[in-house]
Amino acid sequence: MQSFRLLKQFNDPANSWVVDRRKRLMPRDARAFPGDGPVDRFARALCEHQATCFRELAEAFEFFALVRKHVRAKVVADLCGGHGLVAVLFVMFERCVERALVLDRTRQGNFDRILKAAEQAAPWTSGRIDYLETKLHTASERVPKDAGLVAVHACGARTDRVLELAVANRTPVAVMPCCHPVATSKAPPALKKALAHLAVDVDRTYQLEAAGFHVRWSQVSERITRMNRVILARPRAQTHSVVTARSDSA
Q: Which pTM value belongs to this model?
A: 0.92
Q: What is the pLDDT of residue 13?
A: 81
Question: Residues 131, 102: contact at Cβ < 8 Å?
Answer: yes
The proportion of the chain whose per-residue pLDDT surpasses 70, expressed as a percent, equals 92
Residue 57 makes CB contacts below 8 A (sequence gap 6+) with: 25, 43, 46, 85
If pLDDT is split at 50, 70 and 90, which confidence band does 226 have? very high
Q: Domains of the chain, with CATH numbers? A: 8-235 (3.40.50.150)
pLDDT tens sequence across 10-50: 998 888 777 657 889 999 999 999 999 999 999 999 999 99
Q: What is the pLDDT of residue 1?
A: 61
Q: What is the pLDDT of residue 243?
A: 43
If pLDDT is split at 50, 70 and 90, which confidence band does 163 have? very high
- Nearest Cα neighbor of 59 from 35, 26, 82 is 82
Q: How far apart are CA 45 and CA 15, in angstroms?
A: 19
pLDDT tens sequence across 104-142: 999 999 999 999 999 999 999 999 999 999 999 999 999
pLDDT exceeds 60 at position 239: no
Three-state DSSP string of the chain:
CCCCCCCHHHHCHHHHHHCCCCCECCHHHHHHCCCCCHHHHHHHHHHHCCCCEHHHHHHHHHHHHHHHHHHCCCEEEEECCCCCHHHHHHHHHCCCCCEEEEEECCCCHHHHHHHHHHHHHCHHHCCCEEEEECCHHHHHHHCCCCCEEEEEEEECHHHHHHHHHHHHHCCCEEEEEECCCCCCCCCCHHHHHHHCHHHHHHHHHHHHHHCCEEEEEEECCCCCCCCCEEEEEEECCCCCCCCCCCCCCC
If pLDDT is split at 50, 70 and 90, which confidence band does 150 have? very high
If pLDDT is split at 50, 70 and 90, which confidence band does 238 have? low
